[in-house]
Amino acid sequence: MNKQISRRTALGLLGATMTSATALRAMPARAATDGVIRFGGSLGMSGRYAETGLNIRHGYETAIKYINEEKGGVQIAGKTYSLELGIVDDASDPARATTLIQRQVDEGVDFFLGSYGSNVVLPCAGITEAAGKVTVQVGGSADQIFTQGYENIFGFFPRASRAWVTSIEFFKSIEPKPKTVSVMATNSAFSKLNAQAAAAGCKEIGLEVLDVLELPEQVTDSSSALATLRARTPDILITTTVDQNSLVIARQMIATETNVPLLYQFLGPQLPAYRESLGAKADGVVMQLPWDESLEFTDPTFGDTQSYIDYYNATNDRPFSYHTVGASSCITTYIEAMKAAGSVDPLAVRDALDAIDIVTAFGPVNFTEDGDGDPILMGAKIGQVQGGEIKVVYPENLRTAETLYPTPTWAEKG
């Protein structure tokens, strides 16, 4: 009996100590604020999209940490709120993501941050829309997300079919004028949709589309497609593949001496891992550039882009990517919308997001009527790897380097 009481007492003391410690640790943040704004959502922190998922999570965390710790929370309609992040791992799996999002909706979360990958964002948007909850996301741009009449979802990128506006204009601006183009895609909705949009845009400006080559969803061998390219070499090769597949294709192009005057990879070269893997061979590769650190913007939370970068680097070990900055700007956008609405009511915030017109560290934020990013204001810039760094080569008013075209062959790159 004595032994039982003793164990209970010990457990009780341990529990009381832990509870007190937790309460004490939480007190300073809570004591200074009148409430907590909780952001929910899921992210692929494991699974096939984990790399980008982690980049996005770091962006969310950085903004929330900065607002809570450096600014003491946010003032909305005279009340001070601290922010809380309730992001969970969906393992890049749409089925798991929808289950997790439904649970958060049931728990009363009002504001959602998006996952990564249109195949995950789209079904989650259906759930939050039905529940009247708001989502701001930086990970999905498929047309279907924005063309179903959803009123509560906002995306930082223009929808996929409009994502090629800048790129097509860029192709038009290249001198000497390219005449032919080939497109390489994988068997996924994202890749195929972008390939169709790219091919259609190229045709419109008079480029002859030689081939649209399709590969399996996970590319391990593209040698056959590359043999076709060598037999019928275009002036521009566009790949609309995700990061890992883009790297496979580029490495195999180098290894098989498959040279094109311009290699344009929609995703991949933006990542440091891609450029480290290819070294000097990455020079000349062109990409869509949703954001670049050389572009300086003001930011209502951090002050400006450089201050954001400095704070991020001081508080994180992981290198930032454009998704990271976009994710931080999602939080800033939410906060500015809440301030404009003077409320944390989801419908009022939704209306404020509809009308928002601000500049963040990521760039201008202005959504279309359907909720996707304005194709001009939020459309991608065009970047090219030069000397191991990404330079902005289009549009001309933001240019940090001239376009290198035609690019040297792989062998000439050293």
Using CB atoms within 10 Å of the CB of residue 404, give its burial: 0 to 12 exposed, 13 to 18 middle, 19+ buried. middle
Name the residue nearer to other proteins (CB basis): 51 or 151. 51
For position 224 contacting other proteins by CB under 8 A, the verdict is yes
- Name which position in 213, 267, 338, 344 contacts other proteins (CB under 8 A): 213
Name the residue nearer to other proteins (CB basis): 75 or 277. 277
The CA distance from 391 to 294, in Å, is 8
- Contact characters 18-47, other proteins, x per CB under 8 A: ---------------------------xxx
CA 53 distance to own-chain centroid: 9
**DSSP 8-class letter at 373:** B
- Shortest distance (Å) from residue 258 CB to other proteins: 9
The CA distance from 175 to 126, in Å, is 45
Q: What is the DSSP string of 181-202?
A: EEEEEESSHHHHHHHHHHHHHH
Q: Helix (H) and strand (E) counts for the chain?
A: 13, 17
How many angstroms separate the Cα of 65 from the Cα of each of 193, 265, 331, 411? 37, 34, 11, 47
For position 90 contacting other proteins by CB under 8 A, the verdict is no
For position 208 contacting other proteins by CB under 8 A, the verdict is no
- Name which position in 80, 102, 173, 228 contacts other proteins (CB under 8 A): 228
Q: How many residues bind other proteins (CB under 8 A)?
A: 40
- Contact criterion met (CB below 8 Å) for 371 and 357: no
- Contact characters 247-266, other proteins, x per CB under 8 A: xx--xx-xxxx---------
For position 48 contacting other proteins by CB under 8 A, the verdict is yes
- Name which position in 233, 277, 306, 366 contacts other proteins (CB under 8 A): 277
- Contact characters 146-185, other proteins, x per CB under 8 A: ----------------------------------------
The CA distance from 190 to 211, in Å, is 19
List contacts with other proteins (CB under 8 A): 45-48, 50-51, 53-54, 187, 213-216, 218, 220-225, 227-228, 231, 243-244, 247-248, 251-252, 254-257, 271, 273-274, 277, 279, 281, 410
